Homo-oligomer: A and B are copies of this chain.
Amino acid sequence: MLCLDHQGYIAQIISPQMKDYQLLIDAAKKADCLLELAADQVILPGFIDLHIHAPQWPNAGVALDQPLEQWLNAYTFPLEKRYQDPSFAKKVYANLVQELLAQGTTTALYFGSVHNLGNLELVKACYHYGQRGFVGKVVMDNPQQTPEDYRDLSTAQALRDTEDFIKTVQQLNQSESIPVTPVITPRFVPSCTTPTLAGLGYLARQYNLPIQSHCSESDWENDYAIQNYHQRDAEVLNHFGLLTDKAVMAHGTLLNEADLNLFQKRQVALAHCPISNVYFGNAVLPAKEILERKNKMGLGTDISGGFSPSLYQNIRQAVISSHQLHEGVDARIDPSTRGSSRKMLTMKNAFYLATVGGAQSLHVPAGVIQVGHYADLQIVRQNWQAFQAETPVMRFEKFMYHTTKANIDQVMVQGKLINLNQGVNDD
């Protein structure tokens, strides 16, 4: 039995063998605060989505057969531009936050758009629906790499808006039980001018805030830094003070050993986005090796580079992609050289990324069911009929392979049960 305190932490874990067990059950019943699991339900830590572009939600599942540039300029940027209208932002973000909660995602690290009013609607949606949110005002001011009608107009404006956003959120947090953390968010190196990157590094230090960006997501991004800075993407970010122990860098499929050593030295976290990487990553992240070298890493949906708001689907794809990296894909290559030396991720590894890995990356006491940690939980119903004795490992694998939103019965953030019946999508 999990006993929660009034701040939403797990205060005690009592097993039936321990004394007071029945006493506590009865007391909780009397106080009408006992939540009992049915025989076919299990309780799991809530998931942490370590990389998601909130404004791209309406495009989830759209145009994934397009090349990156076409996808960005014909679909993604035109959509993100619409968030200058706060009423549009409010509608979409209400739907997205409810969707993620219903998918078992209790914490999310969000890219917003460049628009502060729109981003504040995302912050308010997290408050209103009860999700633990980390939200960044996206900064993109490089005229060469951003559309004329969707960019920050200058370094000064980009930094001022970022600072305004930080202060406003900190202000709003004072009346909230689950605060939203503002995040320094340079979209990625190519989209920012150097003074802006430097200024964002300064703000991150000044306010001691998390940082999020993309790093070596694709060959193109990887090459951009080398062409324009004669440095690796990671080195550029490091140079501007954007690689800290509170930094979360998305993708990293093209990171090399030196980059990973730098990430480790700086305690930078990696947001592995296995579905998105299929379409835009140009390679599979060697996630098993990165886990073994003890780099910080979690899992992200990367809506809408990834089509699915479900971390279960990303857990599955993380395992699938690691199998393909290990086995190789082209039958015309001899089996002796078709595959790679890269190891396969186990289902446990992938589950770890979606829970413990994400929590460590954000320095949140969550992702594990343990005294002193937040009661960020999901109650999932077994959605298969068991026709044989199933070991705990078999059941675990089946929960990971078969769970969809439809059998996530309850979600709790910091001890508060979420209302999941607000007419959200059911995919």
Verify if A149 is at the interface (C-beta below 8 Å from B).
no
User: CB within 8 A of A307: which of B57, B340, B402?
Assistant: B402
A88 CB to nearest B CB, Å: 7
Verify if A35 is at the interface (C-beta below 8 Å from B).
no
Verify if A327 is at the interface (C-beta below 8 Å from B).
yes
* Separation of A330 and B92 alpha carbons in the complex (Å): 37
Q: Is the CB of B394 within 8 A of A62?
A: yes
Verify if A328 is at the interface (C-beta below 8 Å from B).
yes
A219: B residues at CB distance < 8 A = 335
Across the interface, name the chain B residue whose C-beta is closest to A75. Answer: B394
Q: Is the CB of A324 within 8 A of B327?
A: no
Stretch from A6-14, A292-300, A341-349, A358-366 that touches the partner: A341-349
Q: Which of A57, A285, A325, A332 has the most CB of B within 10 A?
A: A332
Verify if A153 is at the interface (C-beta below 8 Å from B).
no
Chain A 284-296, CB-CB to B under 8 Å as 1, else 0, gives: 1110000000000
A398: B residues at CB distance < 8 A = 60-62
Verify if A72 is at the interface (C-beta below 8 Å from B).
no
Q: Which of A316, A385, A394 has the most CB of B within 10 A?
A: A385
Q: Is the CB of B329 within 8 A of A383?
A: no
Verify if A21 is at the interface (C-beta below 8 Å from B).
no
A387: B residues at CB distance < 8 A = 57-58, 88, 91-92, 95
Q: Is the CB of B283 within 8 A of A338?
A: yes
Question: Which interface class (under 10, 10 to 19, 20 to 34, 35 or more) fits A?
Answer: 35 or more
Q: Is the CB of B402 within 8 A of A425?
A: yes
A405: B residues at CB distance < 8 A = 404, 406
Q: Is the CB of B426 within 8 A of A385?
A: no
User: CB within 8 A of A282: which of B62, B338, B404?
Assistant: B338
Contact flag A329-B340 (CB < 8 Å), given A387-B92, A397-B61, A401-B307? yes
Verify if A320 is at the interface (C-beta below 8 Å from B).
yes
* Separation of A308 and B317 alpha carbons in the complex (Å): 13
7 closest Cβ pairs, A-B complex: A61-B401, A402-B427, A283-B331, A406-B406, A58-B387, A307-B401, A406-B426
Residues of A within 8 A of B (CB): 57-58, 60-65, 79, 82, 88, 91-92, 95, 219, 253-255, 275, 278-279, 282-286, 307-308, 316-317, 319-321, 323-325, 327-332, 335, 338, 340, 342, 344, 346-347, 383-388, 394, 397-398, 400-407, 425-427
